[in-house]
């Protein structure tokens, strides 16, 4: 009985704190992002596409990040930060941040893939980069975008 009450208290505490709500939203967005990326990478591998050194890894990363972003924007605005601010402004700022994050993570994944083209290495790299992005995003969301 005490374990059930403690679990409920922990859930209530997480729900009441912005960082806890952001973490839950982030984990779900991460699962969407990494799950799509890994599925596409396993199914199709990495190879050049078109021109401008575009590779399938960059495309798969963008697909994963955009999908996670759409989920994250809705959940962070409504639930994590409970923002009533200007939606178009917030969306534009989030899009700019997404573009920056996508560019940085895609370049980093391309570098990792050149060193270790193994499925599990790519997944670990994607997870590590997602964690870093999540940390800097929290501060930007809290103090700039959803303030």
Percent above pLDDT 90 for the chain? 39
What rounded mean pLDDT belongs to the chain?
86
What does the pLDDT look like over 40-65, one tens digit per residue? Answer: 989 988 877 776 667 888 888 889 98
The tokens describing 143, both together, are: 């103090």
Residue 15 pLDDT greater than 70, yes or no: no
Cα–Cα nearest to 137, from 86, 65, 87: 65
Task: Give residues with Cβ within 8 angstroms of 124, minimum separation 6.
Answer: none
Domain span holding position 74 = 2-145
Domain count for the chain: 1
At residue 131 the predicted structure's pLDDT band, cuts being 50, 70 and 90, is confident
Cα–Cα nearest to 97, from 125, 111, 76: 76
Give this prediction's pTM.
0.69
What does the pLDDT look like over 70-114, one tens digit per residue? Answer: 999 999 999 999 999 999 999 999 999 989 988 888 888 888 888
């Amino acid at each position: 009985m005490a374990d059930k009450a403690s679990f409920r208290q922990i859930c209530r505490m997480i729900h009441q704190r912005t960082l806890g709500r952001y973490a839950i939203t982030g984990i779900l967005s991460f699962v969407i992002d990494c799950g799509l990326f890994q599925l596409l990478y396993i199914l199709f591998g990495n190879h050049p596409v078109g021109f401008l050194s575009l590779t399938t890894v960059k495309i798969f990363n963008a697909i994963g990040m955009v999908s996670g972003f759409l989920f994250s924007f809705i959940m962070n605005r409504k639930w994590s930060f409970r923002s009533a601010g200007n939606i178009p402004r917030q969306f534009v700022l989030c899009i700019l941040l997404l573009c920056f994050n996508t560019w940085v993570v895609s370049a980093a994944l391309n570098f990792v893939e050149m060193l270790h083209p193994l499925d599990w290495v790519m997944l670990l790299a994607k997870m590590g980069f997602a964690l870093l992005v999540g940390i800097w995003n929290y501060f930007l969301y809290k103090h700039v975008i959803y303030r």
